Amino acid sequence: MTTRWPWISMLLSIIILVSPLGTGVLRDAFFSRELLSRSIAQPIVFIGLAILISICVIEWLVRSIISKRRSGGATTS
């Protein structure tokens, strides 16, 4: 592993947001003319974004821990 950047989860997030389902939910949440549709879709979008950001942070933390352990070197007793 050469980088700590969470590229796997970032790629997954982009794929989800660009998919037809993702763009439809985003469109309903922010560009719908109906108030009921917006008020239903906005919490779904915010919860989904929070989950995607959490996954990115977790991947970054795991990569950081693995990188620190590998840089310490192996000790033999």
pLDDT of residue 47: 96
Give the span between the Cα atoms of 44 and 16, in whole angstroms: 14
Give the span between the Cα atoms of 64 and 45, in whole angstroms: 29
Give the span between the Cα atoms of 25 and 70, in whole angstroms: 41
DSSP 59: H
Q: Which of 73, 74, 66 is nearest to 1 (CA)?
A: 66
What distances in angstroms separate CA 3 from CA 43, 62, 66, one per listed residue? 33, 12, 11
| pLDDT mean values, one per 10 residues, the chain (77 residues) | 78 92 93 92 94 93 87 62
Per-residue model confidence as pLDDT tens digits over 48-70: 999 999 999 999 999 888 888 87
Averaged confidence pLDDT in the chain? 87
